[in-house]
Structure 1
Amino acid sequence: MGIFDSVFGKKEKVVEEKKQLPWVHLESLEQLEGITEKSNHRTQVIYKHSTTCGISSMTLRMFSDAYDMDTECDLYFLTIQSHRDISNAVASQFGVRHESPQLLIIKDGKVTFHTSHGAISDVNLKDYV
């Protein structure tokens, strides 16, 4: 092995650490009510994700890679296939047409910004918090 290392160069494995975003899974209508209340004191963010959509998976990966862990907000993750009732309630309560993937920023009980699909990856949350 030593001779091959000197001829071909020793290759070291590079292991990339994936950062774990502080997602709170949005799984009840009570949580949605809490988000509205909490938004009066701290920015709340909802990411609506489709497990069957390749664009949603790609966008989530890009959003996660770009997310700054120092951002002062609460992140909620809503899987629409599992919680369509909550997704519908989000659309109704905040007056924003459902799309997926979709990112909603909530302050003072109202959506102050929302976007969907590939445009999510261009969002710098700190601009809206």
Structure 2
Amino acid sequence: MNWNKLTSDAQLNDIKEESAKQPVLIFKHSTTCSISAMALSRMERNWSDQLGVKPYYLDLLANRPISKQIEQEFGIEHESPQILLIRNGECIYDASHMAISFSGLQQAV
């Protein structure tokens, strides 16, 4: 799985534009949280590029202000770990903690 690193709030505009062409996933990850590590591992183990989703990875400890911007841009309350599926500039699906699964993402796509 090839993650695109989300390191700048300016990238959120790019994500919105990209999501008009293909769905975009944002994975908000806390590098010190075991639940977050488990959710990330499950997503990576089950990932298939055939789904046609462009994945972005946000390291919450290194880029906390971006998470706040995501909350404001997409109207989804922050949780960690958390995934957001963006299509046509809107968040059409989100999940957090143990609800994060590749199968749930597949159904949303």
Secondary structure at the counterpart of residue 36 of structure 2: helix
Q: Distance in 2 between matches of 1:68 and 1:124?
A: 13
Task: Give the match for residue 103 of structure 1.
Answer: 83
Q: Indicate if the aligned counterparts of 1:71 and 1:125 stay in contact, CA closer than 8 A.
A: no
Structure with more contact order per residue of length (Cα contacts < 8 Å, sep ≥ 6): 2
Task: Give the match for residue 64 of structure 1.
Answer: 44
Task: Give the match for residue 89 of structure 1.
Answer: 69
Which ranges of structure 2 fall in alignment gaps of 5 or more residues? none
Task: Give the match for residue 96 of structure 2.
Answer: 116
Provide the identity percentage.
38
Task: Give the greater-gyration-radius structure (CA).
Answer: 1
Q: Which amino acid aligns with 1:46?
A: I
Q: Indicate if the aligned counterparts of 2:47 and 2:102 stay in contact, CA closer than 8 A.
A: no
Query: Between Structure 1 and Structure 2, how many residues are aligned?
Result: 109
Q: CA shift at 1:66, angstroms?
A: 1.2
- Stretches of 4+ moved more than 2 A in 1? 121-129
Q: Distance in 1 between matches of 2:91 and 2:36?
A: 21
Which ranges of structure 1 fall in alignment gaps of 5 or more residues? 1-20
Q: Which amino acid aligns with 1:109?
A: G
Q: Which amino acid aligns with 1:60?
A: L
Q: Which amino acid aligns with 1:62?
A: R
Q: Distance in 1 between matches of 2:13 and 2:69?
A: 10
Q: Distance in 2 between matches of 1:61 and 1:98?
A: 20
Q: Distance in 1 between matches of 2:10 and 2:87?
A: 18
Secondary structure at the counterpart of residue 80 of structure 2: coil
Q: Give TM-score, length-normalised by structure 1.
A: 0.80
Q: Give TM-score, length-normalised by structure 2.
A: 0.94
